Amino acid sequence: MPDLEALEMVACQPATIEPMAYNPASILPYGLTTEHLRLVMSDFLDFLGFFNLQLHTKGLKRLETMMMQANFSSIASEYMKGNLPHYCKTVVTNRHHNGHPDLLPVGIYSGGDVEHGVEGIEIKASRRASGWQGHNPEDCWLMVFVYSSNTPDESELPRPFRFLSVVGARLTQADWSFSGRGERSRRTITASVIKSGYEKMLANWIYRSAVVDNQAGVAPQDDE
């Protein structure tokens, strides 16, 4: 039988970034660099590790195992959105509530505030290796941070959070499929990146871990 307590303690500390896993040939917009991404990704691992170790001392679950999957993905994406401008001074966080896209190039939109703009970067974090979702088909530069972690499923063995890949590219509305809903349905309206968009993003991979994780890309629909 595995020592679950020992595994849980190890899982509190996320897996470190692999410096050689960044693609020097990747194309990034608006002055963003792989070094900016390395710094903010490393910061997120410190942030998550700090909280998980503190929770562990109180006998509490790690963040990724106590939260709904969609909520945890949102924390990861919001962290990137809020902290990338600390390192990359040519982008700012969109100040508009629920504005699109998440990051805006400096000097394009007055006050760094736009409800719906065509210039900027939309940020997502997901356990999915493909099929990423949004609310509407968009013309935008999309960047996705793919990660592996435990979920609230208590049958899983404890394992550390790990960034598996970062991919990104400029997509058009044709790179999305749209799923509406019936008049009486309460299902969230979603759009999903289709094969053409996925291939654009995969061709411009930015970070790719050497670790092969069979848990990646199999999360349920509410991960987004």
Residues spanned by the domain of 125: 29-210
Q: Is residue 13 part of a domain?
A: no
Residue 212 carries which side chain, given as an amino acid letter? Answer: V
**Does residue 84 have a pLDDT over 70?**
yes
* pLDDT tier at 136, thresholds 50, 70, 90: low
Check if the beta carbon of residue 153 is closer than 8 Å to that of residue 209.
Answer: no
Report if residue 217 sits inside a domain: no
* pLDDT tens-digit map of 24-56: 999 999 999 999 999 999 999 999 999 999 999
For residue 16, what are the CA distances in angstroms to 19, 58, 161?
9, 24, 9
Has residue 182 got a pLDDT over 90?
no
Q: How far apart are CA 56 and CA 114, in angstroms?
A: 41
pLDDT score at 213? 42
What gap in Å lies between CA 135 and CA 201, rounded to an integer? Answer: 19
pTM exceeding the 0.85 threshold for the entire prediction: yes
Residue 196 lies in a domain: yes
222 domain-assigned? no
> Taking 90 as the threshold, does the pLDDT of residue 224 lie above it?
no
Pairwise pLDDT comparison (190 vs 101), residue with the higher score: 101
Is 115 part of any domain?
yes
Count of domains observed in the chain: 1
Query: Is residue 8 assigned to a domain?
Result: no
Nearest CA among 58, 57, 69 for reference residue 152: 69
E strand spans, the chain: 91-93, 103-105, 121-126, 133-134, 140-148, 162-171, 176-179, 190-193, 205-208
Tokens, residue 11:
């899982």
Is residue 57's pLDDT more than 90?
yes
Tell me the pairing of strands 121-126 and 140-148. Answer: parallel
Give residue 132's pLDDT: 87
Instruction: Tell me if 135 is assigned to some domain.
Output: yes
In a domain, 16, yes or no: no
